Amino acid sequence: MGRLSEALLEDRPFEGLTFVASRDEKRLTGQLQAVHQIMCDHDWHTLADLVLRCSGSEAGVSARLRDLRKLNFTIERQHVERGLWKYRMAA
């Protein structure tokens, strides 16, 4: 549990003008796997919590949550307080 399948990753959720597969794909896939594994507990997590648990930056972890959405996972968000949100993956 918690591991994205190779078939699902074939959809290549990474894109953008600065994305270079030979340079970025392995790193981003690893980070995506780490974020997905944490989110599989279906608990609420802030970006700061996810960064501490899987390394990277808040911007990077936020991008991986968007990538999970592109792969048809439901990522819910909830406002905590001024400027702070928490996220969970729907069961």
- Residue position matching structure tokens 């190779």: 6
Encode pLDDT of 30-45 as tens digits: 999 999 999 999 999 9
Mean pLDDT for the chain overall: 90
Q: What is the pLDDT of residue 2?
A: 63
By percentage, how much of the chain surpasses pLDDT 70? 91
CATH number at residue 44: 1.10.10.10
Q: Identify the domain containing residue 20 by its residue range.
A: 6-89
| 91, two tokens | 């069961």
- Average pLDDT score over residue span 75-81: 97
- Average pLDDT score over residue span 54-58: 91
Angle 6-12-14 from CA coordinates, rounded to 5°: 130
Q: SS3 helix, strand, coil % of the chain, rounded to 5?
A: 50, 15, 35
Q: What is the pLDDT of residue 34?
A: 95
What is the spatial distance between Cα 73 and Cα 9, in angstroms, rounded to a whole number? Answer: 13
Asked if residue 1 is part of any domain, the answer here is no
